[in-house]
Amino acid sequence: MADPMRIRAQAAGDKATVRVLMAHEMETGQRKDAAGKIIPGWYIQEVSAQLNGKTVMTAQWGPAVAKNPFLQFAIKGAKAGDKVSVSWVDNKGEKRTDEATVS
């Protein structure tokens, strides 16, 4: 089971800024280990964000994104008390969803 994300969402004016830290190896599949064997790729492929259950953003990621990625985006119309949830799915089919309340 993957480690939890850290999500912070802060409302300012008519939008909320969401900052997400994800715990993931993001192995590219290009690197070799000490024995010279290729380390299989293992990276997040899909990211989506929901505001009160309604999808507001989807993204397709690949191996070029860094280990333990940081993602920041803004949601128009989100206000304090709203629920923001972020989900990812990696190329092994592993998933993780975490939720935060807009402050």
Q: Could you list the residues that contact another protein (CB under 8 A)?
A: 3-4, 6, 19, 21, 23, 66-68, 70, 72
The nearer residue to another protein, 52 or 68, going by C-beta atoms, is: 68
The nearer residue to another protein, 5 or 78, going by C-beta atoms, is: 5
In whole angstroms, the minimum distance from the beta carbon of 97 to another protein comes to 16
Query: Beta strand 44-51 with 54-60: parallel, antiparallel or unpaired?
Result: antiparallel
Give buried/exposed letters for 68-93 (b at 16+ CB in 10 A, else e). ebebebebeebeeebebbbbbbbbee
The nearer residue to another protein, 77 or 95, going by C-beta atoms, is: 95
